[in-house]
Amino acid sequence: GLGISKLLSETGYVTLDPGFVNTASCASAVTYIDGDAGILRYRGYPIEELAEKSSFLEVSYLLINGELPTPEQLSAFSEQIQGETLLHERFRSFFAGFPSSAHPMAVSSSAVNALATYHPDTLDPFDPAQVERATALLMAKLPTIAAYAYKTAQGQPLLYPDSSLGYVENFMRMTFGLPTGAYEVDPEVVKILDMLFILHADHEQNCSTSTVRMVGSSNANLYSSVSAGINALWGPLHGGANQAVLEMLEKIHADGGDVASFVNKVKNKEDGVKLMGFGHRVYRNYDPRAAVVKKATRKVLDTLGVSDPLLDLAMQLEEVALADDYFVQRKLYPNVDFYTGVIYKALGFPVNAFTVLFAIGRLPGWIAQWREMINDPATKIGRPRQVYVGSPERHYPA
């Protein structure tokens, strides 16, 4: 691999591979995907087992450290994170500087980058103690940042975190609680959001993770690298697809719910319309995460006693698409984002907050991959080559 690329560049050859469809950028021991078989494993553990039996913090520890924690290691890790959820008092005013229409992804990535200003003694990528602390600070503070982005948009007061609560419960309370009353969240809801975070926790060299590694390859600090990852995730072809799916379902619903005519539009590529939440670069078989989410969606709506016509619409779309040659030939199946939006909506999150939930889930994966890169002696600064197709030399008019 690396030997061949060195040989090629020394002989003046470069490979042209737009979108890195067939080019590996690194060797990694974090996540395994077999796209043809629909298999996803974190550090060797099948995603289905982790989703059913583990917790988000345990999975985060696994991704970051390579092994499942002992009970003592897990409680030390959780305490370290829960003890850091508070933002600096002055940092709270940062949120007031944005208009209430601000997209929470823009607020979150800015706030994550700004964390570096409050923790200048945690910026050295080559000091393991600093990296350990930056890891805990990011894991602890991103949910607080996400909740404050929401609160600011709602014009509601920011709540202090409650470190006696679990990771997800604390986030839900900071998001939906009010200082004027007690907030209680159904443990079933907490469990489901925790499971969704597990399903999003890593996905090897996707667009945002590759961005985190690329930025970090210049030895930029962890906060800047993760902040860049949040921006990459925002795009509708990546994490932003969860927002795009719900907007698509709402539009089909508002137009009378004609699934067949929407699918025809997609097949005819009218105005570039895509079936959002379908397709994946690596999976050419059902996305194993989507299978788990689909099951959970029904359960959430039942638990909350909500009925949502958008779920029926999504299921109809899936049924029509999976029986259609266009999608079959191109091996297009629902991806993780196809059903998550229906759950997030049922939990009360506004559509533009969906991708922030993805970011909270993906954070341990970004951190694990960044740390793997920093510790890998084979790492070099990310610097792709190009094939120049512009003008030959010409001269500025005299």
Binding residues for ligand ACO, rule: CB under 6 A, are 19, 237-239, 241, 266, 274-281, 330, 332, 335-337
Three-state DSSP class for 63?
helix
DSSP string, 151-202: HHHHT-PPPPP-TTS-HHHHHHHHHH--TTS-----HHHHHHHHHHHHHHS-
CA 378, CA 368: separation in Å to the nearest integer?
17
Choice between 149 and 336, CB closer to ligand ACO? 336
Choice between 114 and 351, CB closer to ligand ACO? 351
CA torsion, ordered 314, 320, 324, 326, to nearest 10 deg: -30
In whole angstroms, the minimum distance from the beta carbon of 204 to ligand ACO comes to 12
Nearest Cα to Cα of residue 313 among 252, 241, 267, 255: 252
CA 129, CA 120: separation in Å to the nearest integer?
13
Three-state DSSP class for 39?
strand
CA distances from 344 to 31, 156, 358, 390 (A): 26, 20, 11, 47
Choice between 63 and 276, CB closer to ligand ACO? 276
Strands 31-34 and 39-42: antiparallel
In whole angstroms, the minimum distance from the beta carbon of 174 to ligand ACO comes to 25
Nearest Cα to Cα of residue 188 among 322, 306, 339, 67: 306
In whole angstroms, the minimum distance from the beta carbon of 176 to ligand ACO comes to 25
Of 194, 202, 308, 337, catalytic = 337
Choice between 98 and 326, CB closer to ligand ACO? 326
In whole angstroms, the minimum distance from the beta carbon of 91 to ligand ACO comes to 30
In whole angstroms, the minimum distance from the beta carbon of 276 to ligand ACO comes to 5
Choice between 149 and 241, CB closer to ligand ACO? 241
Nearest Cα to Cα of residue 300 among 396, 153, 150, 185: 185
Of 194, 202, 280, 287, catalytic = 280
The answer to whether the CB of 96 falls within 8 A of the CB of 346 is no
Choice between 159 and 313, CB closer to ligand ACO? 313
In whole angstroms, the minimum distance from the beta carbon of 291 to ligand ACO comes to 14
The answer to whether the CB of 212 falls within 8 A of the CB of 369 is yes
Choice between 176 and 344, CB closer to ligand ACO? 344
CB-nearest residue to ligand ACO: 279
Is 280 annotated in the active site?
yes
CA 321, CA 63: separation in Å to the nearest integer?
34
Sheet with 45-46, strands from edge to edge, namely: 31-34, 39-42, 45-46
In whole angstroms, the minimum distance from the beta carbon of 275 to ligand ACO comes to 4
Would you state the structure tokens that stand for residue 122, as one six-digit string? 């945690």
Is 203 annotated in the active site?
no
The answer to whether the CB of 162 falls within 8 A of the CB of 175 is no
Return the active site residues.
280, 337
